[in-house]
Amino acid sequence: MALNTLVVGRIDYAESYAAMQTFTAERTPDTPDALWLCEHDPVFTQGLAGQAGHLLAPGAIPVVATNRGGQVTYHGPGQVTAYPLIDLKRAGYFVKEYVYRIEGAVIATLAHLGVTGHRVPGAPGIYLRLDDPFSHAALAGPVPAGDPFRGLGKIAALGIKVSRHCTYHGVALNVAMDLEPFSRINPCGYAGLRTVDLSTIGVPVSWDEAASVLGHKLGIYLAP
């Protein structure tokens, strides 16, 4: 069953969160899967395992507690936030593969834009080489002790919730943002983790184009 993709655009985070919960609670085995592509006003969101110590100095930016996995992250203008609403039982794959497929879609989106994305074991999301984000070389060798990100910057954060085999929350791809708010947190619980966006590394892509490419790739990678 194909994803029903909806480009929501700018929406208050709390409103989208409530809408995802309602959609998931009310869906039936026949409800088509959906993908919502959103952009949010500045907000910090805290996952179920979130530790207060990772929220350093939020200032005037609101903090919303959520039921997704993971630690604290930031959403703001210039970021494409994709919310796949998938019935995993019907799709025929489990949570671990679901996460891998989402990451694959982000990597494919970046490749479409000429950028090489990388996975880091044990740290969901997608990362870039800070010294050469366009290098096609794979990350090699063991993860250095005490430095799991070895010169990497995070460009996409991932956090999900599964209820009755159905997913919500999703993945956020940084396109052209004010990155300063990331300095007010330990992103995803990692002190000192650098956060980057496509604009910072010299990729001039609009929100609409990035959302279109990411939505297309998610549709391919999340297909049963």
Calculate the CA dihedral of residues 217, 207, 173, 141 and round it to 10 degrees.
80
Residue 72 neighbours by CB under 8 Å, 6+ apart: 44, 45, 46, 47, 50, 54, 55, 63, 185, 186, 187, 188, 189
Other C-beta atoms closer than 10 Å to the C-beta of 123 total 18
Q: Identify the active-site residue in 99, 152, 188, 213.
A: 188
The pair of three-digit structure tokens given for residue 131, joined into one six-digit string: 């010294």
CA-to-CA distance for 210 and 87, rounded, in angstroms? 25
Closest CA to 42 of 181, 190, 183, 193: 181
The pair of three-digit structure tokens given for residue 15, joined into one six-digit string: 């409103």
Residue 144 neighbours by CB under 8 Å, 6+ apart: 150
DSSP run (H or E) holding 151: none
> Is residue 38 annotated as a catalytic residue, yes or no?
no
User: What residues act catalytically?
Assistant: 188
